[in-house]
Amino acid sequence: MAAPLDGIKVIDLSRLAPGPFCTMILGDLGADVLRVEEPGGGAMEASRPRPDRAAAKRAAAFNAVNRNKRSIALNLKDTEAREVLYQLCRRADVFVEGFRPGVVKRLGCDYDALRAINPRLIYCWLSGYGQTGPYRGLVGHDLNYISFAGMLGLIGPANGPPAIPINVIADMAGGGMHAALGILAAVIARGKTGEGQYVDAAMLEACSP
């Protein structure tokens, strides 16, 4: 029996945990996920022997969210590499990225550029603070997002200080999982309209009450 997302092609340009977790979910559901990595990094780097224990743990964490995926190395600052990406996107169903505002536009693969190539493409942008507001350009981590959202104050003893959770809440549940849900909804909508959508997944918003 075919998997639910059998035949769906995903281009994954994300780097940190939320994006790869999102595309891991899609891959687990049967999507064909292709990671676009920097030359010499990503899967190539994670596959090297790791005598250092801390480095080995980081490599294991990388591999844990990149199962069911293939990868290609492209330097998107190079014109020929961008043309390869455009060819991939012409046949793709979903594009996922998690850069700060302005980065993908400089690389020539923002929503408007890729939509012009493939109007059926579902484009998902994962961010920490969303596309608008005073924090949109800031770098953040899981602890920052759950703190701003007020979630950190709900963890720990009633009369004590907040406790850092043992797992990443905003990155995985707030970012990656909500992005996957948005993409799945957009796939269903495209079946009705024939057109792709822009999926905006912000970790702070997903954690806010």
141 is catalytic: yes
- Catalytic residue chosen out of the listed positions 141, 142, 178, 200: 141
112 is catalytic: no
Q: Tokens 């999102």 belong to which residue?
A: 22
- Catalytic residue chosen out of the listed positions 93, 110, 142, 171: 171
Q: Which of 92, 96, 97 is nearest to 119 (CA)?
A: 92
Q: Which of 141, 150, 206, 147 is nearest to 178 (CA)?
A: 206
Q: Please identify every residue annotated as catalytic.
A: 141, 171
